[in-house]
Amino acid sequence: MRSILTSKWTKVAVFLVCLTPFCDLIWRIIKSNLGANPVEYLQHATGDWTLRFLVFTLSITPFRKLFKLPDLIRFRRMLGLFAFFYVSLHFLTYLGPDQSFDPAGMLKDVAKRPFITVGFTAFVLLIPLAITSTAGWIRRLGGKRWQMLHRSIYFAAVFGVIHYYWLVKSDVRKPLFYGALVGILLLWRLGDWFFKRRSQAPARIAAPTVSVNG
Amino acid sequence: MLIRRAPDLTYSDVTPKSVYLDRRKFLRAMGIAGATAVAGKGLFDLALPPRTAFAATQFAGLIKSPFSTSEKPNSLNDVSHYNNFYEFGTDKSDPAKNAQNLKTSPWTVSVEGEVKTPRKFTMDEILKLAPLEERIYRHRCVERWSIVVPWIGFSFNVLLKLVEPGPKARYVAFETFYDSRQMPQAKYGGIDFPYVEGLRLDEAMNPLTLLCVGMYGESLPPQDGAPVRMIIPWKYGYKSIKSLVKIRFQEKEPPTTWNRYSSDEYGFYSNVNPNVDHPRWSQAKERRLGDIFTRNTVIFNGYGDQVSAMYNGMDLKKFH
């Protein structure tokens, strides 16, 4: 299992798999196979894939710990960057066809429509994460600060789900499904943090001078 | 995500245990099974075109209506594969898939309430009430998309005059057919069924208000509201109730489905109005199906000349 996870080729394969939704969309555009409302199709597809990749990214840490597969970390950045890739496409389908590439009009819309406001906020929150995803930036910020910054993915995921929930008219099954997944993944972290704190508490008393960062 | 499976292959066909145990053979067999599945699906599609219980009737000798727009109609394929008909599922592509077996014959429309002559109309009777016209109308959905459709029918006021509403009749309530066995997807819709709608009497009498029995020269496909529906072109699409079974004349404003679901979002009047936003999105623009960019929405969907007098002195923000 380890050798599969650490193989360079696995990374290449995962990359290609992550790219298939994009290829499917390109293929559909070429073939004019996007249904009666092509713009809406692209908006919904890229929005869906953004939420899915956010869920995949948030799943890495719980899966690493639950299944004792620390090497899964090798895929987290790539999945996160794919979430950013799809949210950027999602944003472009809004800025272009909906707002005719007019930034001023777009910002007015962002300020006025709560469902656009939360969606746009989620997108903006992800920008610094994409920029600082490199090893150089981890070094520059320091592990702890970098980790703090990257926790904003939690808010981005929650805002993304709210954005979807506020969009639909009455059938809320799909937004609730994503909401449940994000909820479980965040609650797991809360539980993990809580138990770690409890189990660490006596140790801290015993050795108060040990720094975590070493 | 779409998972395709050949119709006749079962799990045991794909992976018999003896094959499964031998990895090489197994991989080869998987390849063959996969290819068979793909080929099988293709052949299956070729041999059996999509099953449709519904067969359209052609209408001949349609009268061209002066109310028609000169704008280019959308394609029949778009109008019949991009539908809001929550009884058959909430995705736009659901009704075209799930509504094909809707039983539309026999069909009766019952007219009740404050009328001199309450009665039931069969579809044959409705089709003979007046000469059928083709009316090319703009249709604007509350979700900010729009289409142009050549509907077939006649002014609703033909039927209205026939049943002679009494002095107490100030509103008309409409009801869509509902049968949970034919519409199993309805339970996920999030709204109550049967679907109900309503108009003020003068709105119902406006010559633009169409009792619609067809489109594109043919009878209505089930997903577009077969066999008979209303079309009110200056109001948001959900007012144009589908698959009509009951018309009731009454004194009080009738409840309407979307208004009951969320009254600040969907008013009783629901006139197309770029100046009154849906609380969650702007109504200033719309996307005509087939277009990439949006266009400006026009008040009363461009039918102001024929309908705005009905709303003189009314606060259109309050009575949205």
**Beta strands B244-250; B108-113: pairing state:** parallel
CB atoms A170 and B289 under 8 Å: no
CB atoms B190 and A169 under 8 Å: yes
Pick the residue from chain A with its C-alpha nearest to B189.
Answer: A171
CB atoms A169 and B77 under 8 Å: no
| Domain count along chain B | 2
Interface test with B, best of A18, A34, A169, A172 (most B CBs within 10 A): A169
Do B116 and B41 reside in the same domain of the chain? no
Name the residue facing B82 among A37, A100, A112 (closest C-beta). A37
CB atoms B81 and A35 under 8 Å: yes
| Full residue range of the structural domain in which residue B243 is found | 63-311
Do B150 and B286 reside in the same domain of the chain? yes
How far, in whole angstroms, is CA B130 from its chain's centroid? 23
CB atoms A171 and B289 under 8 Å: no
Do B102 and B41 reside in the same domain of the chain? no
Do B21 and B85 reside in the same domain of the chain? no
Q: Are B142 and B237 in contact (CB under 8 A)?
A: yes
What's residue B280's pLDDT? 86
DSSP track, B56-73: PPB--SPEEPTT---SPP
Contacts of B260 in chain A (CB under 8 A): none
B52 part of a folded domain: no
Q: pLDDT (tens digit, 9 = 90+) per residue, A39-61?
A: 999 999 999 999 999 999 999 99
Q: Which residue has the higher pLDDT, B158 or B7?
A: B158
* Mean pLDDT of chain A, nearest integer: 92
Burial of B308 (0-12, 13-18, 19+ CB in 10 A): middle
CB atoms A113 and B93 under 8 Å: no
Indicate the pTM of the whole model: 0.82
To the nearest whole Å, the CA of B265 is away from the closest chain A CA by: 10
Do B122 and B259 reside in the same domain of the chain? yes
What's residue B51's pLDDT? 47
Cα angle B212, B218, B220; round to 5:
50
Interface test with A, best of B292, B296, B297 (most A CBs within 10 A): B292
Do B20 and B159 reside in the same domain of the chain? no
Give the CA count within 13 Å in the CB-facing half-sphere of A197.
6
Q: What is the identity of the amino acid at A52?
A: R
CB atoms B90 and A36 under 8 Å: no
What residues in chain B have their Cβ under 8 A from chain A's Cβ atoms? Answer: 74, 77-79, 81-82, 86, 90, 92-93, 143, 145, 188-191, 261, 280-282, 287, 289-290, 292-294
Q: pLDDT (tens digit, 9 = 90+) per residue, A99-143?
A: 989 999 999 999 999 999 999 999 999 999 999 999 999 999 999
Distance CA B8, CA A209 (A): 69
Name the residue facing A35 among B74, B82, B86 (closest C-beta). B82
To the nearest whole Å, the CA of A201 is away from the closest chain B CA by: 46
B320 part of a folded domain: no
Chain A to chain B Cβ contacts (< 8 Å): 56
How far, in whole angstroms, is CA A160 from its chain's centroid? 9
What's residue B37's pLDDT? 53
- Please state the ipTM of this predicted complex: 0.81
B299 part of a folded domain: yes
Q: For position B120, which CATH number holds? A: 3.90.420.10
Do B71 and B183 reside in the same domain of the chain? yes
Q: Are A56 and A69 in contact (CB under 8 A)?
A: no
B319 part of a folded domain: no
Distance CA B150, CA B132 (A): 12
B4 part of a folded domain: no
Name the residue facing A36 among B81, B189, B261 (closest C-beta). B81
CB atoms B294 and A36 under 8 Å: no
CB atoms A169 and B282 under 8 Å: no
Distance CA B40, CA B280 (A): 46
Do B155 and B108 reside in the same domain of the chain? yes
| Residue showing tokens 């981890």 | A138
Do B190 and B264 reside in the same domain of the chain? yes
Q: pLDDT (tens digit, 9 = 90+) per residue, B65-76?
A: 999 999 999 999
DSSP track, B35-48: HHHHHHHHHHHHHS
CB atoms A35 and B90 under 8 Å: no
pLDDT beyond 90 at B275:
yes
**Beta strands B133-140; B145-155: pairing state:** antiparallel
Distance CA B159, CA B161 (A): 6
CB atoms B281 and A36 under 8 Å: no
pLDDT beyond 80 at B8:
no
To the nearest whole Å, the CA of B122 is away from the closest chain A CA by: 33
Do B38 and B81 reside in the same domain of the chain? no
Pick the residue from chain B with its C-alpha nearest to A39.
Answer: B292
Distance CA A53, CA A156 (A): 12
pLDDT band at B49 (very low <50, low <70, confident <90, very high): very low
Contacts 24+ apart (CB under 8 A), A168-173: A169/B90, A169/B143, A169/B190, A170/B86, A170/B90, A170/B189, A170/B190, A170/B191, A170/B261, A171/B86, A171/B90, A171/B188, A171/B189, A171/B190, A172/B190, A173/B188
Largest CA distance in chain B: 84
DSSP A207: -
Q: Residue A164's closest CA among A149, A181, A148, A151?
A: A181
Tokens found for residue A127: 């920008």
pLDDT beyond 90 at B24:
no
CB atoms A170 and B292 under 8 Å: no
Contacts 24+ apart (CB under 8 A), A20-27: A21/A45, A21/A49, A21/A86, A22/A85, A22/A86, A22/A89
CB atoms A97 and B261 under 8 Å: no
B5 part of a folded domain: no
B318 part of a folded domain: no
B113 part of a folded domain: yes
Do B191 and B286 reside in the same domain of the chain? yes
Do B202 and B133 reside in the same domain of the chain? yes
Name the residue facing A173 among B81, B188, B282 (closest C-beta). B188
List Cβ neighbours of B80 (8 Å cut-off, separation of 6 or more): B96, B221, B223, B224
